[in-house]
Structure 1
Amino acid sequence: MPTTSSAPRTSCLATSTVASRSRCPSSSTARANASTRSSICHWPTTCSPGSSIVRRGERFRRPKASTLKPPCRRARPGAIGAVADRFSGTRIRVPLETSVPRLLIQAGYKVTSSASSRSTRSLFDTGDRRLAAGGGELSLNRRDGWRWRRDTLGHPKLTSREWSAPSNAPQAQLLDWTRAYRRGRPVAERAVVTIHSRRHTVASAHADSVLTLVEERLDEHTQTGATPRLRHVQVVEAGANATSAIAVLAEASVDDAPALALLGRARARAPRLRIPDPSATEARDVFTRSTTLSLIQWLYFDGELPAGSPEALRKLRVALRRLRSDLQTFAPLLDREWADGLRDQLGRQATRLGVVRDLEVLGDRLAALVALLPEAERPAALPLLDTAGTQLAAARVELLDELGRAEYLEVLDRAVDAVTAPRWKDGDGDPRATRLARRPWRRLRSYVEALSDTPDDAELHRVRILAKRARYAADACVPAAGAPAAECAAQLAALQTVLGEHHDGVTTRDWLQREAEAMSGVSFIAGELAALELPNVRRASKVWRDEWAKISPSRNWRWLRS
């Protein structure tokens, strides 16, 4: 299937990310600027031989302490050192014997091809090919350096991304990139390939430019020489009339995957993550599809956390929440003790992520509130912004340390096992997926109907949690119930957004009250900021009823009886 890449290549990642971190000594005090408050410094350190990246014929050597120089470089929120695919656009794998120019010429296009170029890359992975099984590909070219590519494996909301680093990049940086994929296993060179590339310019019969392609043939080095193994086509530029030409290539495509998932032999192979076909609507298929999507998202965003990306943290936290929700919604299908144990572990990890995420949201809201103050009063709010920034930086350092520990990798390993080999409950026949989604919705409806006309903050927060669970259950059932389930999920998302605004406002006001009591000289400005936040809280506490009125009619939920 075609894989659509993200934005064009922008930059190379040359900073180091580490297993052991401390705050940069030259970091300045956090200010109102949210990007400054959200930043974090990383120091390069060595890594243990057991978790090193080893090339064939080489032994791990610990760098001398004198060679380690702290870069004191701050990472901007979202500046994750990521670059897009090597060529922006769609990547398609076609059969090795396919002649791409001939295929397009037979479809009525004119093709002009360039001369072929050649490069050699070493492919790295764990012994059981865990990186490839999860959609990752780590490779090295002596001249161009390291390349870390993450494939979406068909996830509809992700795009393939590629990071790059010099060939002498610290091993700790590469290990951080691949942490979630390798899960504690050492990475070593597993294959050497030669890539033959050439560019094709495709035009219509009227000589109008349609698209530009790069075709790559991958030859694997063996004891008997280089053997052609794979052929890919990637779109570089696409004109307005490119759809038909791309469809010709897509029709000839075959299932794609990272190269090491398709090359070579391994004594044992980690199970590949595969998203079940949407047409498979049995309850077990629906569970597997939903949990696989969440796990792919978890692996995908884990490597972006060390650079301080708020978006990565939010997406990873959502992935854990969805996994927990699916384990609860589909509990009648699963071994209870096993599922409950995994849910508890996922809950602890989600809580740790939540601490940092809440502080990120707090910092953003404080910055927005300070911007509403008269300019002459804004300096008085700097101590509050400094405190929020310090708390966020400390929480991030603690989180990154926790994510490098064995407990996190153990939970991730268990999640991979849960997705690829769930422990189903013994019994005859399974209920329909839509029947399993009834309970989250009924719990939400019953709770809301029992509320008074003026629910307190804790009750509204509970509504938000129950709405989230019902939304995830509806989302999971879209393959089985179609558009009605998707519409309900969208309406619940709108309700969740309003209640989230209420919760964030309440949390901000509570934090301001605590800091006003703990710090001297900020009581007045903290009171001003809390007063500015109050209308947001009151507005959300009223508007949520309007959103609920759109969701609650029973006709919206008839699909639960299908």
Structure 2
Amino acid sequence: MAQQHLDPTTDTAAGPLPADTLETYLRAQATEFLRALRRHREDGTAGDPAGPAPAPDPHRPLRRAARRLSGTLHTFRPLLDAEWTEGTRPELAWLSGMLALEHAYADRLERLLQALHRLSGTSGAPGTGPQTVVPGAARAAALLDRQLTLARTRAHSTALQALGSSRFHAVTDRIALLASEVPLCPGSAAGADLRPLAAAAEARLADAVAALPLHTAGHPYNAQALVHGLAPDPAPHPQDAPWHQVRLLLRLHRYAREALAGQDATPDAPDHDPAGQALDRHRDAAEAAAAAAQAARTPRIAPATAYALGVLHADQRHEVEAARYAFQHSWRARRPGTR
């Protein structure tokens, strides 16, 4: 059963919010997308994929606007032209996901190298390279460095190709149109109220959280998770999918709250949301554990290297459990009385 509302902004007693509010928000996000694209082109931030990760992430403003547009189109799609929305939303999701890969691989490598330094008990500074760790862990770090740097290089090339593709230009044309004219569905948007659709996004989040096994989150040793991760099957861990879904729904809920604010909207800071932070850490640790497990499946590696990667995998799965435990506590603090 869905839990009660998470935020007073969806309280229908405050009166209806017309579609004009949605138009204002979508135009603002479309303008931000075009502004971020212009800055990206002016800066020429292609970067060197084999070198250090750029800081800050040059694609972040573009991804951020694309995610907000895609999420808002999803939540409020009954009020928008169906053909236009269904043709635009998947393209925005493709764009934001593709642009995130290069930075994600760089962050994953840094996370795993830091963990190896910590687990090996060395005093070298994090990220200074595999030569600073003890034998066995050093080989594991070198293997991870090769695999993830290669993946990052490929993601970099893919992003460059995508940003020059006809597919990307078609997306930007759609967003340029959105910045001036929001394609509302006349029959649905006239006299519409945004609050019920935002409340529906809220309810989907509450239902997804209620389905999580919060009473088991944070166990210090999840044997099933460890065994699955090092099994020959490289499929994503089945325990993680519901948590990733909650993370997505929490983001959609956040964007819906912003849309309700219309011209007064200021993007919520994820850093100020402990539940969102915990789910981000959960995602990062789960993906890092998967990368360590994949490296451990490399043919003909030394037993000591495989052992170091196995320890690293277990360490990251413990981080997954810790993130679930942190989410559990932050969610209960956010919604007193939930179980």
Using the size of structure 2 for normalisation, the TM-score is 0.71
Contact kept? 1:298, 1:320, Cα under 8 Å = no
Deviation at 1:324, TM superposition (A): 0.2
Are residues 1:328 and 2:89 paired?
no
Match of 2:253 in 1: 470
State the SS of the aligned residue for 1:306: coil
Provide the secondary structure at the position in 1 that maps to 2:185.
Answer: coil
Distance 1:545 1:290, change over 3 A: same
CA contact (8 A) 2:29 2:65 kept: no
Tell me which of 59, 63, 86 is aligned to 1:340.
86
Give the alignment partner of residue 23 of structure 2, picking from 284, 295, 298: 284
Q: Which runs of 5+ in 2 are unaligned?
A: 1-18, 49-53, 123-133, 218-238
Change (3 A) 1:479 1:403: closer
**1:325, CA displacement in angstroms?**
0.9
With the length of structure 1 as denominator, give the TM-score of the two structures.
Answer: 0.44
Query: C-alpha distance in 2, partners of 1:340/1:450?
Result: 29
**1:512 aligned partner, one-letter code:** A
How far has the Cα of 1:295 moved from its partner? 4.0
**Which amino acid in structure 2 is aligned with residue 282 of structure 1?**
T
**Residue in structure 2 matched with residue 367 of structure 1 by the alignment:** 113
Deviations 1:217-254 (A, max 9, x none): xxxxxxxxxxxxxxxxxxxxxxxxxxxxxxxxxxxxxx
Aligned letter for 1:500?
D
Q: Which residue of 2 aligns with 1:511?
A: 291
Aligned to 1:415: 175
Report % sequence identity: 24
Shift of 1:304: 4.8
Report the Cα distance in structure 2 between the residues aligned to 1:408 and 1:523, rounded to whole angstroms: 41
Task: Specify whether residues 329 and 298 from structure 1 end up closer, same or farther in structure 2 by C-alpha distance, changes over 3 A only.
Answer: farther
1-side partners of 2:259 and 2:67: how far apart?
13
* 1:316 to 1:284, Cα distance in 2 relative to 1, 3 A: closer
Q: Which has the larger radius of gyration?
A: 1
CA RMSD of aligned residues (A): 2.9
CA distance in 2, matches of 1:454, 1:301: 44
Answer yes or no: is the 8 Å Cα contact 1:359–1:388 preserved in 2: yes
How far 1:464 sits from its partner (Å)?
Answer: 0.5
Give the distance between the partners of 2:185 and 2:24, measured in 1 at CA.
15
The alpha-carbon distance between structure 1 residues 526 and 323, as it changes in their structure 2 partners (threshold 3 A), is same
The 1-side partners of 2:153 and 2:332 are apart by 41
Please tell me whether the aligned partners of residues 283 and 431 of structure 1 are also in contact (alpha carbons under 8 angstroms).
no
Aligned pairs for 1:78-117 (under 5 A) are none
CA distance in 1, matches of 2:182, 2:270: 28
CA contact (8 A) 1:501 1:540 kept: yes
Select the structure that is richer in strand. 1
Return the alpha-carbon distance in structure 2 between the equivalents of residues 532 and 447 of structure 1.
27
Which of 438, 443, 456 pairs up with 2:204? 443
CA distance in 1, matches of 2:104, 2:185: 37
- By percentage of residues, which structure has more helix? 2
Q: How does 1:136-535 map onto structure 2 within 5 Å?
A: 282-301=21-40, 303-307=43-47, 309=54, 311-372=57-118, 373-375=120-122, 376-377=134-135, 378-380=137-139, 381-427=141-187, 429-452=190-213, 453-454=215-216, 456-479=239-262, 493-519=273-299, 520-521=301-302, 522-535=305-318
Partner of 1:260: none
TM-fit CA distance, 1:338: 0.6
Q: How many correspondences in the alignment? A: 272
2:81 partner letter: D
Secondary structure in 1 matching 2:183: coil
Cα deviation, residue 525, structure 1? 1.9
1:509/1:477 Cα in 2 relative to 1: closer, same or farther (>3 Å)? Answer: same
Shift in alpha-carbon separation, 1:420–1:552, aligned structure 2, 3 A: farther
Separation in structure 2 between the aligned mates of residue 358 and residue 367 of structure 1, nearest angstrom: 14
Contact kept? 1:294, 1:322, Cα under 8 Å:
no
